[in-house]
């Protein structure tokens, strides 16, 4: 387990460590540290991913992790990034990030009555994150140009990280990787 700074107070159990991350500043700081150290994998499933300040910053971290040899995959909802520039996801792919979306047609054909992917999970080597935040600038604090939307996320370490990874893998397989990418 990584060393936590003095302002972080994890909740530890016999097998897990949970760190509550109230607000985007805390989430971004923790996630940046984990992604900068990732060597094996970075798996992200999200509903909203936009090509503005927050999304581009995350994209740079993903590309760096891929350059270090990590398996970097991004799974996003077909409509969540609807306002993103069409070249944005293509640029991520050209930098080695395996990005795909879950087409609405696939979800509907699988009998999903709500064919949207509102999941928000990140797996970075031996840590996982989940919560309400997404990768749109609305979540940035006002002082950084955002709308100051406030969500609480959690960072976990321990055996449940592999549960997050299995869930990501299941949803990755369900997505039609051969379809033309949305917005790109």
pLDDT by residue for the chain (184 residues), tens only, comes to: 455 454 567 788 889 999 999 989 999 999 999 999 999 999 999 988 888 899 999 999 999 999 999 999 999 876 665 666 768 889 999 999 999 877 667 666 666 666 666 789 999 999 999 998 888 899 999 999 999 888 899 999 999 999 999 999 988 988 864 443 444 4
Tell me the domains of the chain and their CATH numbers. 37-174 (3.30.870.10)
- CB-based burial, 15-48: b 16+ in 10 Å, e otherwise: eebebebebbebbbebbebbbeebeebbbbbbbb
- Helix (H) / strand (E) containing 87: helix 86-94
Report d(CA 31, CA 120) in Å as an integer. 13
Whole-number Cα distances in Å, 166 to 33, 69, 88, 171: 23, 21, 27, 9
**Any residues with CB less than 8 A from the CB of 173 and at least 6 apart, and which?**
none
- 11 by Cβ neighbours in 10 Å (0-12 / 13-18 / 19+) ranks as exposed
- Tell me the whole-structure pTM to 2 decimals: 0.84
């Amino acid at each position: 387990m990584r060393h936590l700074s003095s302002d972080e107070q994890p909740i530890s159990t016999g097998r897990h460590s949970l760190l509550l991350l109230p607000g985007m500043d805390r989430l971004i700081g923790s996630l940046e540290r984990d992604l900068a150290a990732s060597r094996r994998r970075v798996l992200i499933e999200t509903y909203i991913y936009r090509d503005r300040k927050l999304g581009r910053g995350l994209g740079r971290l993903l590309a760096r992790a891929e350059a270090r040899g990590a398996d970097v995959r991004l799974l996003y909802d077909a409509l969540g990034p609807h306002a993103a520039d069409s070249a944005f996801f293509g640029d991520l792919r050209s930098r080695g990030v395996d990005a795909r979306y879950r087409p609405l047609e696939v979800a509907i054909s699988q009998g999903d009555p709500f064919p949207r992917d509102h999941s928000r999970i990140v797996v970075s080597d031996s840590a996982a994150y989940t919560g309400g935040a997404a990768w749109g600038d609305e979540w940035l604090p006002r002082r950084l140009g955002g709308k100051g939307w406030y969500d609480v996320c959690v960072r976990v370490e321990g055996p449940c990280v592999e549960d997050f990874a299995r869930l990501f893998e299941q949803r990755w397989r369900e997505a039609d990787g051969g379809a033309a990418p949305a917005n790109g």
